[in-house]
Each structure stands twice: as structure tokens, then as C-alpha cells.
A and B are shown apart, each in its own frame.
Chain A
Amino acid sequence: MKEGALLKLLKNPSSKSEGFKLLVDLYQEKLYWMIRKMVLSHDTANDVLQETYIRIFKGIDNFKGNSAISTWMYRIAYNECLRFLSKESKLLRVELDISDSDYSKKLYADSYFDPNELSTKFHTILSELTVNQRNIFNMKYFDELKFKEISDITGININTIKSTYYLVEKKIKKEINE
């Protein structure tokens, strides 16, 4: 279904429910994986996903269409993750330019984490990156988002995103092949 038609469904009160079901069917998995890689635990990711969809449902009437609806939804999910992480760390804002010192602790505490040789290597490298670097790499490499979309979601300049991604990609390739 094209985005225009989907928006029409969502903006019409009589078909809003139908449109919302489509939004869940189309984006639930994608949003979940983006959230999961940010918060690491499955249970937390589930809570954040539910909260994200509540915000989407409430906010859809105010969606102006200035970006693709998927970008708008990813941005809500991204902000919801940051809100959760700041609450978890008891800080007003998440420090995005430093690495998360609790990364491995959170990952290994999750019962839905099943490490293997490759994933252990991957996570070791990811844990050393700053939160911003990790998010940018994950969104491009795993979620297959475009640089422009990542820029719209995170509010970071597109050139910074490109240079960050290529730098991290090079580092990961080198360390995984060692």
C-alpha cells in the first residue's frame, strides 16, 4: 500500500483503526529490532515498543506529513528509547558521546541473549563505541535505513552520520576478520 493511501486511512476517523492495524503489521518487527539494539533487553524492548505505538496512535492526527511515516515512527521509537535510557541511568539526558559502561552487563543479563563466536566479537566492538556511533552503525547495517533517514531520526548532520558509519564499519570489518 502506498503511503498516501495509508495516511488517508489513518486521518479518517472511520478507517483509523484499519490504518493503525496496517501500521502495526508493517512496522512492528522493524521498530522492535531498532529498539532492542538500543535497550538490549527483550522485556524492556517490548515495553518500549508498546509505549511507542501508544504515542503513534495518539499522535497520528497531528502528523503533518513532513517526512515519511516510517521515519516519523522510527523517530518516536528512538526518542522513547532515549527516554527509557535516561530514566534507567537516572540522568536528565542520555550521554550520547560516551560508551555505555553497562552494555555487557545488560546484554548478558537478558535471558533472550544467546551468544556465539561471531556475536561475542560483534558485541565486544559495539560496547566500545559511543552510544551515537553504535546507534548509527546499527540503523545502517542492521535496520538498513538510508543516511537521510538516520539523520532525520537522530537529528545528527548527514555528513557526520556518513563519516561515523564508514569509520565504524572499517573498524568492525578489521576486528572481525582478525
Chain B
Amino acid sequence: MNRHKKELGLKIPENYFKESRENILSKNLNSTDKEYSFRFYQLSFAAIFIFTLIYFNYPFLERESINFETESPIISTILLNEEITEEYIIDFLTDEVVSDVIYMPK
């Protein structure tokens, strides 16, 4: 590599390659363990976050779907795959009204 000095006039500091070698090795080989443990914490945190989201949201979603089924004749027909006819709507509403209004004494 004398040509770089002789023909191009490029110099380097004394012991440069020795020091540079140490820097490269310390930067890469020592960082591996830290990187793995950091990644482990990141993944654990992500897993806990996702689990929490699912845990708190699942019963809530389930309740919503039950409400749809019972409160609307239109959604009810979609869920049961039945055609909406006047007759169906009258039957549905009659059932609802009867079950809400009629009080059966003991």
C-alpha cells in the first residue's frame, strides 16, 4: 500500500489499522448481546400489548353481535338468511311487543 503514499500522497495516522480493528470488533461483537436482549424486551412488550387488546375487546365485540341479532328485524333476517316480507316484520314485531307488554301474574 506504499503506492497510496508515494503516488497519491495519502497518509494515515500511526497504528491506525490496529486501532481501527479494535473499534470495529468492539462495535460489532459487543453489540450483539445488547441487541438480542433489547429485541427480546421489544417482542415481549408487543406480545403483552396484543394479548391485553384481545382480552379486553373480545367479550365487548361478542355482546355487540348479540344486540344486532335481537333488536333489528332487518339484521335478524340477514343473519338467518331469510327474505324480508311484510309478514315477517309483523310477526317479528308482534313477538317483541307481546313479550315486552304482557305481564303474566304468578
Which among A21, A29, A32, A50 is the interface contact of B27 at CB below 8 angstroms? A50
Whose C-beta in chain A lies nearest to the C-beta of B28? A57
Do most interface residues of chain A lie in helix, strand or loop, or is the interface mixed? helix
Q: Does A115 have its Cβ within 8 Å of any Cβ on chain B?
A: yes
Interface residues of A (CB under 8 A from B): 17, 20-21, 24-25, 28-29, 32-33, 36-37, 42, 46, 49-50, 53-54, 57, 112-116, 118-120, 122-123, 142
Q: Which of B4-12, B37-45, B70-78, B85-93 contacts A (4 or more CB under 8 A)?
A: B4-12
Do most interface residues of chain B lie in helix, strand or loop, or is the interface mixed? helix
Interface residues of B (CB under 8 A from A): 1, 3-13, 16-17, 20-21, 23-25, 27-29
The answer to whether B9 touches A115, judged by C-beta atoms less than 8 angstroms apart, is: yes
Which among B1, B7, B12 is the interface contact of A119 at CB below 8 angstroms? B7
Complex: A32 Cα to B13 Cα, angstroms: 13
What is the distance, in angstroms, from A73's C-beta to the closest C-beta of chain B?
12
